């Protein structure tokens, strides 16, 4: 399957602005891939330098250690998800929090 064949849709977005040590959490997104896979709890984060990235759902396995329970193996598809979620945030909630 080619990256352009993957359709990403934001099913729900919950804004949750929270400043953290190394980033600002903007909110949580649930997305649907190709109308057959729902991924809940993707974090949209902003770096202090202005860069936007996503954090995939994870669980804590040891004190302070987290592992992703969803892993996107294709870098281009992960970027497509990041762009879709960040564009959705901009469209519905304005520009990114400073």
Domains recognised in the chain with CATH numbers: 3-93 (3.30.1120.40)
| Mean pLDDT for the stretch of residues 61-72 | 90
Dihedral angle at the C-alpha atoms of 51, 20, 40, 58, nearest 10 degrees? 100
Tens of pLDDT, residues 6-54? 999 999 999 998 998 889 999 999 999 999 999 999 999 999 988 999 9
pTM of the model: 0.88
Report residue 93 as tokens: 């909630």
User: How far lies 2's CA from each of 10, 38, 54, 74, in Å?
Assistant: 20, 19, 21, 10
């Amino acid at each position: 399957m080619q990256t352009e064949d993957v359709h990403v849709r934001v099913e729900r977005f919950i804004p949750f602005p929270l400043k953290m040590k190394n980033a600002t959490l903007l909110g949580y997104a649930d997305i649907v891939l190709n109308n057959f896979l729902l991924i809940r709890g993707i974090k949209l984060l902003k770096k202090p330098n202005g860069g936007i990235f996503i954090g995939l759902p994870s669980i804590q396995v040891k004190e302070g250690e987290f592992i992703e329970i969803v892993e996107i193996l294709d870098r281009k598809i992960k970027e497509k998800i990041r762009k879709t979620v960040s564009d959705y945030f901009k469209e519905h909630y304005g520009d990114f929090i400073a």
